[in-house]
A and B are shown apart, each in its own frame.
Chain A
């Protein structure tokens, strides 16, 4: 009995400490998801909205939003990859090359976050519309370029908006990289390319994976960028959802689309995590 005392007390303390986050989790994540799940099995009320029912018709109707799914599932990975391509050199530069003014440069990367994302995306509308970049290109002889309301415009917006989210995780993993390993590689006659490929890159992989997941997950639910820079012509699942809830007011079908999105994300993120773990494991083995 006496020995169980502190154990039980610890259990109670743990439970109390976990209670707020558990409550938060249940109230704000699990409950809404259950509601969405129930809605997805219902029917559209005659005046729009939700009406109780039990049907899988909404799930069978999912192919009707195939374009939205295809757009999202192509532009989200491509956008993530582009972010990576632009972010890695920047993060490398900040973490390895910069000696002085590092803090200032880091602040410059975060600086855009100080103004509203909406405002910055609006700025891109002006830049990409006829009187912006296309008109400057026309001056140097490249006529008839159209950017706004195209997938290119959406990708530009994505790279611009999500770049800092990719830069920071990679920066952190490169910053922590033990510089002596690079010297060791050089001592072992590895040229700079081999050093990067076999030392720097594998060691920064956790940052790359984190950054990619962060950007990819957010992109899958993206609504604003396609809405503003795609002009209603580049349609993401997020846009389909807004339409289903606010315009055609088919809540059950909207719920089914939302559930489908959640499932796709879980599968994609699950696969990515497994791949990353696998990479990590082989690396450890090869080090041994």
Chain B
């Protein structure tokens, strides 16, 4: 857990949206005191199948793991989970490219895996060390990109979509398309809309305004998207991938949003609605991978194996609100969750969605476009 996430929890605690106990659990303060006790020799470390060291470093996204699960992992293995959260795949890859980042487990998105593998930033996985992962339990539509040319580099975590969230008590127009999203931003709801600090989704959904592919790298199409983004920028409330606090405080009333964040927002405020633009947009899968220079490979395998265990994974899903790709996990989840239209959108809105394309993570044109948009 980094400072940002800690503060996020602190604020939620202060705002009264989580209890003190949840706060201590979420921030790991409970774990921290337990670790301190262990370090000081006040508590014997429990035996585990082989020593996996005293810490595993997990590189992931905000609000993506049930802190109670990680605490249980620590109790079972004696290894604490050091969590770092990122705002975009670009940021995650940049840290790995710079070398010796010290991460053991990575949570990359489908479209980045081939690029990670070709740059030798992640290592092939020995599935024998992840016995709780059962490839046959996963729908290959979601999980195919974990393997690169037949070599498995990553095992699936969950999947989701990228739409937008509206606070329906203020956004009363009932928008259903990306065109409406961008138009409302420039008119009625100027100053109260957020976009991700993430080129893939922000550029991708600006492309959808014109009906282009979410993945376009066509120069003329990107130029149109840039024109739109630059026109929209003065009307934005902010550019941030951590939009939940602003949505909850009421400063922002509409934002580009991922499945699980919509579920988490709705948990706090029933007026929060999730919209998948009818033109399409992104569908994605996140995976677990191990960096090539991971300092604690043994710990990495232990943590991944633990997190993909169906009953643990089911608790994860209940916490983060993203649908699992694992049929065994789904069997353990309550019916209302499996029928939730945020997690499982209707077939007709799901159909036009695109998976992010390989190569976009390293595409210069899109990276530069986004940097220009932000510094404009």
**Beta-carbon contact of B3 and A247 below 8 Å:** no
What 0/1 readout, one digit per residue, does chain B (144-158) give for beta carbons within 8 Å of chain A?
Answer: 000000000000000
**Beta-carbon contact of A231 and B90 below 8 Å:** no
Interface residues of B (CB under 8 A from A): 3-4, 7, 10-11, 14, 88, 90-91, 93-95, 97, 115, 119, 191, 197, 199, 233, 236-240, 245-246, 249-251, 362, 364, 367-368, 370-372, 374-376
Interface assignment of A204: CB less than 8 Å from any CB of chain B: no
**Beta-carbon contact of B374 and A130 below 8 Å:** no
Expressed in whole angstroms, the Cα–Cα distance for A137 and B10 within the complex equals: 25
**Beta-carbon contact of A130 and B367 below 8 Å:** no
Total interface residues on A, CB under 8 Å, equals: 35
Given A233-B238, A247-B197, 4 other A-B residues pairs in contact with their CB atoms under 8 A:
A47-B97, A49-B97, A149-B238, A247-B88
Indicate which residue in A129, A146, A248 contacts B368 across the interface (CB closer than 8 Å). A248
Closest chain-B Cβ to A235's Cβ sits at a distance in Å of 5
When distances are taken between beta carbons in the complex, the residues of chain A under 8 Å from B376 are 67
**Beta-carbon contact of A243 and B374 below 8 Å:** yes
Expressed in whole angstroms, the Cα–Cα distance for A68 and B237 within the complex equals: 18
**Beta-carbon contact of B367 and A247 below 8 Å:** yes
What 0/1 readout, one digit per residue, does chain A (204-245) give for beta carbons within 8 Å of chain B?
Answer: 000000000000000000000000000111010001100111
**Beta-carbon contact of B91 and A246 below 8 Å:** yes
Asked whether A244 and B95 contact (CB < 8 A) given A131-B249, A148-B251, A232-B240, the answer is no
Indicate which residue in A126, A231, A244 contacts B11 across the interface (CB closer than 8 Å). A126
Stretch at the interface among A13-21, A73-81, A103-111, A115-123: A115-123
**Beta-carbon contact of A247 and B7 below 8 Å:** no
When distances are taken between beta carbons in the complex, the residues of chain B under 8 Å from A131 are 249-250
**Beta-carbon contact of A129 and B246 below 8 Å:** yes
Interface assignment of A250: CB less than 8 Å from any CB of chain B: yes
When distances are taken between beta carbons in the complex, the residues of chain A under 8 Å from B88 are 247
Expressed in whole angstroms, the Cα–Cα distance for A258 and B175 within the complex equals: 43
When distances are taken between beta carbons in the complex, the residues of chain A under 8 Å from B370 are 247-248
Indicate which residue in B7, B115, B233, B250 contacts A119 across the interface (CB closer than 8 Å). B7
A-B contact pairs, 17 of them (CB 8 A): A47-B97, A65-B375, A231-B240, A232-B197, A232-B238, A232-B240, A233-B233, A233-B236, A233-B238, A235-B375, A243-B374, A246-B94, A247-B90, A247-B94, A247-B371, A247-B374, A249-B93
**Beta-carbon contact of B251 and A47 below 8 Å:** no
Asked whether A67 and B239 contact (CB < 8 A) given A116-B3, A249-B90, A249-B94, the answer is no
Closest chain-B Cβ to A2's Cβ sits at a distance in Å of 55
Asked whether A250 and B375 contact (CB < 8 A) given A44-B364, A116-B3, A231-B239, the answer is no
Interface assignment of A188: CB less than 8 Å from any CB of chain B: no
Indicate which residue in A65, A68, A129, A246 contacts B249 across the interface (CB closer than 8 Å). A129
What 0/1 readout, one digit per residue, does chain A (243-270) give for beta carbons within 8 Å of chain B?
Answer: 1111111100000000000000000000
**Beta-carbon contact of B240 and A122 below 8 Å:** no
Closest chain-A Cβ to B367's Cβ sits at a distance in Å of 4
When distances are taken between beta carbons in the complex, the residues of chain B under 8 Å from A148 are 251
Indicate which residue in B119, B364, B371 contacts A243 across the interface (CB closer than 8 Å). B371
Interface assignment of A46: CB less than 8 Å from any CB of chain B: yes
**Beta-carbon contact of B375 and A130 below 8 Å:** no
What 0/1 readout, one digit per residue, does chain A (34-70) give for beta carbons within 8 Å of chain B?
Answer: 0000000000101111000000000000001101100
When distances are taken between beta carbons in the complex, the residues of chain A under 8 Å from B249 are 129-131
Asked whether A248 and B197 contact (CB < 8 A) given A47-B115, A65-B375, A67-B375, the answer is no
Indicate which residue in B7, B119, B197 contacts A122 across the interface (CB closer than 8 Å). B7
Expressed in whole angstroms, the Cα–Cα distance for A223 and B4 within the complex equals: 15
Q: Write the chain A residue with the least CB distance to B97.
A: A49
When distances are taken between beta carbons in the complex, the residues of chain B under 8 Å from A243 are 371, 374-375
Indicate which residue in A125, A235, A245 contacts B374 across the interface (CB closer than 8 Å). A235
**Beta-carbon contact of A246 and B239 below 8 Å:** no
Q: Write the chain B residue with the least CB distance to A66.
A: B375
Asked whether A146 and B11 contact (CB < 8 A) given A129-B251, A130-B249, A240-B375, the answer is no
Closest chain-B Cβ to A73's Cβ sits at a distance in Å of 14
Q: Write the chain A residue with the least CB distance to B191.
A: A146
When distances are taken between beta carbons in the complex, the residues of chain A under 8 Å from B3 are 116, 118-119
Tell me the A108-152 residues at the B interface (CB within 8 Å). 116, 118-119, 122, 125-126, 129-131, 146, 148-149
When distances are taken between beta carbons in the complex, the residues of chain B under 8 Å from A67 are 375-376
Asked whether A231 and B367 contact (CB < 8 A) given A64-B372, A246-B91, the answer is no
When distances are taken between beta carbons in the complex, the residues of chain B under 8 Å from A119 are 3, 7
Asked whether A48 and B371 contact (CB < 8 A) given A126-B11, A232-B239, the answer is no
Closest chain-A Cβ to B223's Cβ sits at a distance in Å of 15
**Beta-carbon contact of B368 and A130 below 8 Å:** no
When distances are taken between beta carbons in the complex, the residues of chain A under 8 Å from B372 are 64
When distances are taken between beta carbons in the complex, the residues of chain B under 8 Å from A126 are 11, 14
Q: Write the chain B residue with the least CB distance to A232.
A: B239
Indicate which residue in B7, B95, B236, B362 contacts A246 across the interface (CB closer than 8 Å). B95
When distances are taken between beta carbons in the complex, the residues of chain B under 8 Å from A44 are 364
Closest chain-A Cβ to B190's Cβ sits at a distance in Å of 11
Indicate which residue in A64, A68, A130, A245 contacts B94 across the interface (CB closer than 8 Å). A245
